[in-house]
Amino acid sequence: MSRLSRSVVSRYAIGSLATGGFATLPGLVLVYYLTDSLGVTALAAGAIVTLAKVWDVLIDPVIGGLSDRALARSGSRRGPMLLGAIGLPIAFVLTFAVPSGFAPAAAAAWVLVAFVAAATFFSFFQVPYIALPAELTDGYSERTRLLTWRVVVLTLAILLFGAGGPELRGLFPEDPLLGYLVMAVGAAIVLAAGLFIAATVAPRGAPATIPSGAVAPRQGLLAHYRAGAAVLRESQPFRALLATFMLQGLATGLMLAGAQFVAAWILRDEGAVTVLFAALIAPALLVAPLWRRIADRLGKERAFRLASLLFLLAAAVLAGMIWLPGWWIVGPVALAGAAYAGMQSLPMAMLPDVIGFDAARTRATDATAGPRRPGAAPPSRADAPEGSQQGDSRAGVFGGVWTAGETAGMALGATVLTAVLALTGYVESTAGAVVQQPAAAITGIAVSFSLLPAALMLLSLLALGRYRLREADLRERGVRREDPGPQDPREQDPREQRPREQDPREQDPREQSPREQSPREQDPREQRPRPGDSP
C-alpha cells in the first residue's frame, strides 16, 4: 500500500467545496426563500424540496450504474463528474432567479424545475466522487486520512456557504430577491471551482475487457435498481452504516433547515444565522484532525459512536430554548459542531472499507465458485493504477445507493420541518411583508431544532450497533486476496511485503508436516518437495 500524495488528498478534499456548499445553502435558505420571499405555503415549500430529493433518490442508483459503466468503458469516472461540474452551477443560479412579480404558484413551479435539474447534475458528480476513495487506496488508515481532510474542507464549505451566503443576501435589504440572486451567483462560482478541481483526481486507466455476453452493453433502468438492491441485500455492514447515516442526515437536515427560522423567530435577528454557523464550524475545524487520532486509537466505529453521543447531548440541551430563548444556545451548537466533524469523516472513511470488503469477498467467491451463472455480470477488470480496486468492486453502485440514502435523509429533514410549521400554524409571507408568528409555531421551531434531532440520533445509535465490520476483518480479507497460504499473525499486512519464494525450512514448525501434503492444504510455493521432484 502506497501513501497518497498531497496533491491527490488536496484535490479530492476540494471537491467538498461543492458537495458541502450544495448540501448547506439550499438546505439552509430554500424553504425560507419560498415561504418568506415568494409567498409559498409551508407545506408546498416542503413538497417542492421533497419532490426534488425523491427524484434525486430515484436517479442515484442509475447514475451509480452509469458511473461503473463509464469506468469499464473508458477506465475513469471523470466523464460523469465533468457533466455535473458543467450543469450544477447553472441550475443552482436558476433556482434563486425567480423573476419579481411571479404568483406563488408560478414561483413554486420555477423553483421545482430548476432545483430538480440542480439535484440531477449534483448526482452526476457526487455518486462517482463517493466511489473514488475505494479506488484511490486500499489502506485502512490511509482512507481515514483522505476522508479527514475532505471533512476539514467540508466544514470550511459549510462556514463559507452557511455564513457567507446569508451575508451576501443581506447586502440588499431593500430587494430580497436580488439578494438571493447575488448569493446564488457567488455560490455558483465557488461550486464550479470545487467541482472541476476534484474531477481531476479520478484515476485514468485502461478500459476494462468485459467478456462477451457477460454484461449487456446497455443496461435498462431496472438493472441499475436490481444492482442497488443487491448491494443492500448482500452487504450487512453497508445496510447498518447507511441506516445510521440516513438517520443522522435526517437529524442534521432538520436542524439545518430550521437554523434560519431559529435566528429569525427565537433570536429575533435574521442575521444571527451567521453566528450560529460560525459556532458550528469553528469547533469542527479544530477537532476534525482529533477524530482521526481517536479513530486510530479506538477504531472508526467506536469513534463514530462517541461523536454521535456528543451530538445527541448537544441537541437535547438545546431543548431549553423552548422555555428560555437566548444567545446561550451558541454553546450547545458549538458542541454539536465538534461532534459533527466526526459524524461526517468517520462514516465516510468506513464506506470505502465496506466497498473494499465487498470486493475482496467477491474475488474470493469467484476464485472458489468457478464460472458465474449465465447472464451474471462479473466485476470489471480495468487495468487500474497500483493500489486501485476499480476493477474488483461495485463502487459506483455503492456510491449511488449511499448518495440516495444521504439525499433522502437530508431532504426529509426539510419535509419534517415544514410539516411541523404547518401543524403549528406558521404564517408565510412575501418579501417586505411584516407578520407575527403564533407561540405554537415558535415552539415548533424550537422542538425541530432540539428534541426531534435528539430522538433521531438515539435511533441512529441503535442502527450503528449492528455494524460489525472491524479492521481485523479487512486484514483477513487482504491476506486471502494477496496470499492464500498460511500467515503468521505477527507478520505485516501482506500488501506491504515484497513477494518472495519461501524455503520450506523457514516455515513455522506448526505449519510443517512430516507427511506428504496435498496441494489443497497450502500455497504451491509452500509445499515440501515430493520424492521424484527435481531439486
Q: Which pLDDT value is given to residue 118?
A: 94
Report the distance separating Cα 75 and Cα 326, nearest Å. Answer: 55
Rounded to the nearest 10°, the torsion over CA 141, 147, 150, 151 is -110
Q: Which pLDDT value is given to residue 329?
A: 93
Q: Which three cell numbers stand for residue 114?
A: 430548476
Q: Which pLDDT value is given to residue 474?
A: 63
Measured CA to CA in angstroms, residue 276 lies from 26, 257, 483 at distances of 16, 13, 53
Query: Which residue from 100, 94, 118 is spatially nearest to 38, judged by alpha carbons?
Result: 100
Q: Which pLDDT value is given to residue 173?
A: 85
Report the distance separating Cα 142 and Cα 132, nearest Å. Answer: 13
Q: Which pLDDT value is given to residue 112?
A: 94
Per-position b or e across 118-132, b if 16+ CB within 10 A of its CB: bbbbbbbbbbbbbbb
In degrees and rounded to multiples of 5, residue 156 shows phi and psi of -65, -40
3-state secondary structure of 206: strand
Q: Which pLDDT value is given to residue 335?
A: 93
Q: Which three cell numbers stand for residue 456?
A: 433521531
Q: Which pLDDT value is given to residue 494?
A: 41
CATH 1.20.1250.20 given to domain 1-203: yes
What is this structure's pTM? 0.63
CB 399 within 8 A of CB 352: no
Report the distance separating Cα 535 and Cα 522, nearest Å. Answer: 19
Residue spans of the domains in the chain: they are: 1-203, 223-367+390-478
Assigned fold of 223-367+390-478: Growth Hormone; Chain: A; (1.20.1250)
Q: Which pLDDT value is given to residue 458?
A: 96
pLDDT in tens, the chain (535 residues): 467 788 888 898 898 888 888 988 887 889 889 988 898 988 888 888 888 878 887 887 788 777 778 777 777 788 888 999 999 999 999 999 999 889 999 999 999 999 999 999 998 998 888 778 777 776 667 777 777 778 778 878 888 888 788 889 888 888 889 999 999 999 999 999 999 999 888 877 645 443 333 334 455 557 767 777 888 888 888 888 999 999 998 998 888 888 888 988 899 887 788 888 788 777 877 887 888 889 888 888 889 999 999 999 999 999 999 999 999 999 999 999 899 888 988 888 888 888 877 777 766 665 555 554 444 444 443 333 333 333 345 777 787 787 777 777 777 887 888 889 889 988 777 655 667 888 899 999 999 999 999 999 999 999 998 887 766 666 665 533 333 333 444 434 444 444 444 444 445 444 444 444 444 445 444 444 444 444 4
Query: Which residue from 32, 407, 25 is spatially nearest to 186, judged by alpha carbons?
Result: 25
Query: Which residue from 506, 474, 473 is spatially nearest to 488, judged by alpha carbons?
Result: 506
Q: Identify the sign of the CA torsion 519, 524, 528, 534.
A: positive
Q: Identify the sign of the CA torsion 184, 263, 23, 143.
A: positive
Render pLDDT for 83-125 as a digit per residue (tens, 0 to 9).
999 999 999 999 999 998 899 999 999 999 999 999 999 989 9
Fold agreement (1-203, 223-367+390-478): yes
The residues that bridge with 525 in the sheet, in sequence order, are none
Report the distance separating Cα 248 and Cα 408, nearest Å. Answer: 11
Q: Which residues contact 165 (CB under 8 A, 6 or more apart)?
A: 25, 28, 29, 183, 186, 187
Cell 447575488, located at residue: 182
